[in-house]
Structure 1
Amino acid sequence: MARASHVVVFLVFSNLAIAMGATLPLLDPYVGKCKSSCEEELNLSLYLHQVVSGAAHNQEVILSPGFANSFGVMAVNDWTMHNTTDSTASIIARAKGMHIQATQSQANGEAWFLPFSMVFEDSSFGGSTLQVMGTISGANGEWAIVGGTGKLSMARGTIKFTKVQPESNPNTENYRKIDIHAFYTPSPAVSIVTLLN
């Protein structure tokens, strides 16, 4: 008469043999690996429209501690971005974030530190974002792209900007031409491969 331990061993090995002979779905060995180049490149020029005050303002001061050189002033922003300096043109993206005056000494001028999410509204990248950080301390400068989401996932790169002054309201309204150069990794499509015997 067979012992219980022999029956258990027989059942384990017979089930293993059946499982090994069955057709098993396996993940594609290239999913998550680059077949050639994972990254795609983005080169895009837009115009950032900042309206400091007035009926159509798109930023608001939320903290003004009263220090010299406006040090510590903080504002939230929802700046619009268009493909032209015409503010009535279609909105491609919005810069949603904040900017903080981070220089104490008047001798050093101003340096507005800004972290923001560039949220795309156009059909190409709608809902995707670029995460941006940097400073504004003059008419020209550069910001870092430190991340992205959606179609622009894991983005990295830079944004160079140049101030383009509008014809009217130079003290309350600004346009900056921004040149975006970034690399991003689109999400891979997951596929299942069935091995045949």
Structure 2
Amino acid sequence: MASYTIDSVQSELKMTLYNKEVYDGPDANGVTIISRAKMGTTYVFSWLVTDGPGPDANIVGHMQGTGVHVANTPDVYQYSLGLVFGDKRFNGSTLQISGTSQINGEWSIVGGTGELAMAKGTIKRTEIRYIGTTRISELKIHAFYTPMNSTTVSSNNTGCKFQKA
């Protein structure tokens, strides 16, 4: 008979980060892949995510994904995003983000990987500066996640055996 143990210790994550969207020029970090007069315009992007809003801020990752204009009013998009961390603390971990919102709105955190496994929460996005073709937004992240311990499964004639690796 197999036996196992489940530890469900949740950790809370509260942090403020900033993303930089550049819409044109040599530093553009997004492209329009479908262009429509009203609804349906689709963008693909890899926005920089930093620990501060200024030019001297450290890059902590990238927000990568798509945005689709989904309403007849301006600036309402359905987003499917992955916040991919590249900093020391969460290197390689991700937050999976989804939601319909305006520029100043809220997204749902619907999952995560690595240290942020099974994350659930929200991200409140607020535009703090829009100059020329560049938008800087504040990202207030609040999530709960379950840090995962890896397990191994072995089998023998008497059944399965689970142990922490």
Cα distance in 2 for partners of 1:54, 1:88 equals 21
Assess if the C-alpha contact under 8 Å between 1:116 and 1:132 holds in 2.
yes
Residue of structure 2 in register with 1:146 after alignment:
110
Gaps of 5+ in 2: 152-161
In the alignment, what sits opposite 2:156? none
C-alpha RMSD of the superposition: 2.1
Q: Which structure has the larger Rg? A: 1
Match of 1:125 in 2: 90
**Correspondence for 2:19 among 33, 41, 48:** 48
Moved more, 125-134 or 180-189: 180-189
Three-state SS of the structure 2 residue aligned to 1:33 is coil
Q: In the alignment, what sits opposite 1:62?
A: 33
Query: Any idea what the Cα deviations from partners look like across 1:147-187, whole Å, max 9, x if unmatched?
Result: 00011000000001111015x42xx1101101100000011
Counterpart of 1:137?
102
Report the TM-score, using the length of structure 2 for normalisation: 0.84
Residue deviations 1:43-68, cap 9 Å, x none? 0100111111111010011111x33x
Aligned to 1:15: none
CA distance in 1, matches of 2:44, 2:83: 14
Deviation track 1:16-69 (CA, whole Å, cap 9, x = no partner) reads xxxxxxxxxx97x6x3234xxx110000100111111111010011111x33x3
The CA deviation at 1:73 is: 0.8
Aligned pairs, how many? 153
Q: Greater share of strand residues, 1 or 2?
A: 2
- Higher helix proportion, which one? 1
- Cα contact 1:32–1:188 (8 A) shared by 2: no
Identity %: 34
Conserved 8 A contact 1:49-1:87 = no
Is 2:65 the counterpart of 1:97?
Answer: yes
* Structure 1 unaligned blocks of 5 or more: 1-25
- Equivalent in 45, 50, 60 of residue 82 of structure 1: 50
